Chain A
Amino acid sequence: MIRLVTIEELPPAQTARLCACLYQAYGIGCEPSPADLLPRLPAKGPIDAVAFLEQADCAEALDDDKVVFVTSRPLAARDLPSGKVPTQSMALVPQGRAIVTTHGLPNGDPDRFLKRLAKLAVHEVGRLWGLHHCLDVRCALYPPWSPPFTTAEQPQLCAFCRDKSDEKIRMAKS
């Protein structure tokens, strides 16, 4: 099961569509959950995604559930050996939690906004299942800072990643 926790208010229709997109991508149930076990967030400025995910939890989540937090606040860029990586989403695999931000997504068109948000969510849930970044520019697992990720907006997986995720989900169920 995928649990969707919206830290700030998101219209119920959009939450429902986001759940539908995640269900469509992975074939496992997705439902919204209350934001009850969140760490204290800084009053201003971006959120440190790794620190947040290490502390945040969801009361309804079971051990093998994947929890996706959605926020409108920006996430802090990470200092990594290859440079400062812009962060729009982040996942911690052992904890089974991910965070996605709507900051910087196109606000004018609700349809585009939702597609981009869904693509980020599909990307992070895929990583929670142990998938790696993909080479197919149309796949949702493509590195999110690269131009094709934003131009190809459909939140879908390539055949290779879909097979991999199916295999991982099957293994987890057994």
Chain B
Amino acid sequence: MTAGKLDFSKGTRVVYPNQGVCRVVGQVEMTIGGQKATFLKLVRENDDGTVMIPLAKLQDVGVRRVADEKEIAQLFKQLSAPDLGPDLNWKTRHKSHGERMAEGGVFAMADVVKELAALSDLRPLPIKERELYDNARHLLVSEIAAALGIPETSAEDAIDFALFPPGVERKKLAALLLEELAGLDDGDLDLDEALLEGADTLDGLDDGDGDGASAEEGEGEDLAEVDDEAPKSKPKSSKLSAKPEASAKKAAASKKPSKSKSTPKAKAAATETKPAKKAPAKPAKKAVAKEASTTSAAAKPAAATKAKKAASKKEKSS
């Protein structure tokens, strides 16, 4: 029998995706769940395992004929072609490899093998990808051996001779790729702008770390409250601008302790430089704290004179 251009007569070799080269044994009628169905019976050449496929699903499963010599020649050209480098995003890589393996085409498998071999130049493969590499390689080797009628070990040598030609050290390829990556600027790497802004913010924090860290610890709650209202797009500017203002206010408070309670002035000064509501909150607290300290300092001379007077009275009485 045939399905499309495929011939499923007894003894024909076909490739079942993800299972490898199989030999057609014949058709079998079976009753499953009270329903009669005709299955195509295949035997895996690798381990003599039996595979049964309902005839109605032959096309969907993706059973295909073994690649011919022309395709194999093209395959080796593909394997020995210069490598464009592996996909470094594991999510897209994992997805595309899964799709290619499910598709089961010989070129797709070769792509998976080549890409994972290139990736292994950069770093050791994680165990799942190593398993995938081994499976893809096994399927590729068995199909090439079946197509060319050569031993599997020779088919594997042919693949590796194309992938790792003699005299070429693989680590050099990795070094070249890393150099290329190092030569790219941020725009070439397609980094997210928000991510870059975040990185700037971190840099800014590191730079302005001089006195701020301890001062800001106690104001965490205030910052959290203000963050909800303030625009979140520019955290860097709000943080960085708050510190100079706060120090300016401290200076102002120390100069004019009596007027330091009139925070509207300070607020106005703050609003001139930045629109965020976050900044005024900080200096206001600091100003109050400073004010308290200055008022207590102002009260100190009066108390001292009182004490002196009391002492002199005591001396007189004694």
Contact = CB atoms under 8 A, between A and B. Distances in A.
Interface stretch (B1-9, B133-141, B252-260, B261-269): B133-141
Interface band, chain A: 20 to 34
Report which residue of A78, A92, A132, A146 has the largest number of chain B beta carbons within 10 angstroms of its beta carbon.
A132
Contact of B161 (A80, A90, A93, A135): A80
A135 B158 contact: no
Contacts of A145: 161, 166
Given A82-B79, A135-B133, A92 B153 contact: yes
B interface: dominant SS: helix
Interface in B121-154: 124-125, 127, 130, 133-134, 137-138, 141, 148, 150-154
Contacts of B150: 80
Contacts of B125: 135
B276 to A, nearest CB: 54
Contacts of B160: 133, 143
Interface in A72-131: 78, 80-83, 85-86, 90-93, 127
B166 A86 contact: yes
A82 B76 contact: yes
Given A146-B164, A146-B166, A132 B141 contact: yes
Contact of A127 (B120, B153, B164): B153
Given A136-B124, A143-B160, A78 B117 contact: no
Contact of B153 (A93, A136, A147): A93
Contacts of A164: 134
A72 B83 CA distance: 38
B157 A78 contact: yes
Contacts of B218: none
A164 B127 CA distance: 12
28 contacts: A50-B151, A50-B154, A78-B154, A80-B150, A80-B154, A81-B73, A81-B158, A82-B76, A82-B161, A82-B162, A83-B165, A85-B158, A90-B154, A127-B156, A132-B137, A135-B117, A135-B120, A135-B124, A135-B130, A135-B133, A136-B124, A143-B157, A143-B164, A145-B166, A148-B169, A160-B127, A160-B130, A164-B134
Interface of A: 50, 78, 80-83, 85-86, 90-93, 127, 132-133, 135-137, 143, 145-148, 160, 164
Given A80-B150, A82-B159, A86-B166, 6 more contacts: A83-B165, A85-B157, A127-B153, A133-B137, A135-B117, A136-B124
